[in-house]
Amino acid sequence: MPTITVPRGRTAALIAAYAACWAAATAYLAFRGADWSFPLISMGVFGLALPALAVLLTRRAKPPPVPVPRPVLEFWAVLGFLAVYAVGFLGYGMGWARQALPAGPGQESLVLGLKLAVHVGLPVLLLLALRAPVRPLFAAHAGQAGFWPPLIVLGVILLGLLAVVSPSLKELSALHPTAGLLAWAAPAAFVWLALEAGLCEEFLYRAVLQTRLSAVLRSEAGAVVIGALIFALAHAPGLFLRGEPGTDGYSTDPLQVAALTVASLSPIALLFGTLWARTRSLLLVVLLHATVDILPNLPEFIGTWAR
């Protein structure tokens, strides 16, 4: 592995740069008259409180190193892939997938297959082409210290928060689901979301991207914050190109869309980035990602699969 000289204070400078970007994005939303209260809540809860708790809950964890033979080459290759992916797949590919089939199980299955291919299959092929180890990225480390405490404690907190702040329980109640329906739909939705959202995003952004960032910057904290920025900005083309009036966060101003993703999404990435840095457990971040998504998406899952 090539030696990369990192000046002292690099981590502090990277954290400060992230904080400045987040503050500028939030200020721009306020200037444009867009909602800037949620970014404050997102930062307070997902960007500060929960990552601090995650550090406490993983204090006994000893994450094994993930080999990155050629950090600079691998990082730029992954970044180039993300640039094409953000515009080509999130911007246009997902739009095509949603129009190729009518709404329903067929469309959802197509979307899941495409997401797994683009978020997991193609990055694996890219890393193999670069002769980079892939197997360590899929490690579960469920038996190591620091796996179960964050999974249980953060899982309960996340479910409780979403039950209070999201309209998902009211939407679910309006469907009048039976106990039998919930008995199979809730675990099925969790598994589906663990694959579609959890595995896809956590493998690409945390296991693949953040690991390369950590090797290049030689700073775990720096990799977390810069990875969070890239994660947020990668979602901007999809929202701008596929969004429409009525879509949360949509705007004809691309700068406002980018500001929204940085202000609202990057704090959530700080939580998952911290957990990955502390444990190197893909299973842990996948399960917690699905926990974040299960309540907001359960009504739609039932509407799609239980008609």
- The pLDDT tens digits for 43-59 are 999 999 999 999 999 99
* Predicted pLDDT at 240: 86
Name the least confident of 3-12, 15-24, 47-56, 245-254: 3-12
**In the 3-class helix/strand/coil scheme, how is the chain assigned residue by residue?**
CCCCCCCCCHHHHHHHHHHHHHHHHHHHHHHCCCCCHHHHHHHHHHHHHHHHHHHHHCCCCCCCCCCCCCHHHHHHHHHHHHHHHHHHHHHHHHHHHHHHCCCCHHHHHHHHHHHHHHHHHHHHHHHHHCCCCCHHHHCCCCCCCCCHHHHHHHHHHHHHHHHHHCCHHHHHHHCCCCHHHHHHHHHHHHHHHHHHHHHHHHHHHHHHHHHHHHHHHCCHHHHHHHHHHHHHHHCHHHHHHHCCCCCCCCCCCHHHHHHHHHHHHHHHHHHHHHHHHHHCCHHHHHHHHHHHHHHHHHHHHHHHHCC
- Average pLDDT rounded to a whole number, residues 194-203: 98
pTM: predicted TM-score of the whole model, two decimal places: 0.94
pLDDT classification of 9: cutoffs 50, 70, 90: confident
Q: Which has more pLDDT, 65 or 228?
A: 228
* Predicted pLDDT at 7: 54
- The pLDDT tens digits for 244-297 are 776 777 788 999 999 999 999 999 999 999 999 999 999 999 999 999 999 999
- The pLDDT tens digits for 113-162 are 999 999 999 999 999 999 999 999 999 999 999 999 999 999 999 999 99
* Predicted pLDDT at 8: 59
Q: Is the pLDDT of residue 4 over 70?
A: no
- The pLDDT tens digits for 78-114 are 999 999 999 999 989 998 988 999 999 999 999 999 9
Residue 100 to residues 104, 113, 132, Cα–Cα distance (Å) = 12, 14, 35
What does the domain layout of the chain look like in residue ranges? 69-305
